[in-house]
């Protein structure tokens, strides 16, 4: 398990934004992963995706690593942000914009505003 934890830690530290998800950002394989990837894709965020379905050790390991029971899981600048519900709430409240700005992560502010307008 230590190897898995180290592997996850390396991925989280090496990328400004990482989404551990079911499927890939081009082809999500669950609705929750699709929602978070869709938000990031629409907002033009440059992020790495890790398909937990491709590696059962990573699939369980990420849950242990974050002490969070569900997937997807978003990390920004090495910090766990949350899963689908949290990312959805943060997107709609503007908190995700703030996090990206404070972290120096580029994103399309107009796209973020369009998401809020469509869901307001």
Tens digit of each residue's pLDDT (9 = 90 or more) over 88-106 = 999 999 999 999 999 999 9
Please report, for residues 34, 37, 85, 92, 112, the alpha-carbon distance to residue 88 in angstroms, rounded to integers and kept in the order given: 12, 11, 5, 6, 11
Average pLDDT of span 109-114 = 97
Taking the C-alpha atoms of residue 45 and residue 99, their distance in angstroms, rounded to an integer, is: 12
pLDDT digits (tens, 9 = 90+) for 35-65: 999 999 999 999 999 999 999 999 999 999 9
* Binding-site residues: 30
Domain coordinates in residue numbering, the chain:
2-119
DSSP E strand boundaries for the chain = 17-21, 48-51, 73-76, 79-82
Q: What is the mean pLDDT of the chain?
A: 96
At residue 1, the pLDDT reads 58
Task: Read off the tokens for 106.
Answer: 């580029």
Average pLDDT of span 16-33 = 97
* Binding-site residues for [2Fe-2S] cluster: 30
Please tell me the CATH code under which domain 2-119 is placed. 3.40.30.10
pLDDT band at 82 (very low <50, low <70, confident <90, very high): very high
Cβ–Cβ under 8 Å, residues 80 and 68: yes
At residue 20, the pLDDT reads 98
């Amino acid at each position: 398990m230590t190897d898995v934890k180290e592997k996850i830690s390396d991925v989280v530290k090496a990328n400004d934004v990482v989404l551990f998800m079911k499927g890939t950002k081009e082809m999500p394989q669950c609705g929750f992963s699709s929602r978070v990837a869709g938000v990031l894709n629409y907002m033009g965020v440059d992020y790495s995706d890790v398909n937990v379905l491709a590696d059962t050790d990573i699939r369980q390991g990420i849950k242990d690593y974050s002490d969070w029971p569900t997937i997807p899981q978003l990390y920004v600048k090495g910090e766990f942000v949350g899963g689908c519900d949290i990312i959805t709430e943060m997107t709609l409240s503007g908190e995700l914009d703030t996090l990206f700005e404070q972290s120096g992560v580029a994103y399309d502010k107009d796209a973020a505003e369009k998401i809020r307008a469509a869901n307001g």
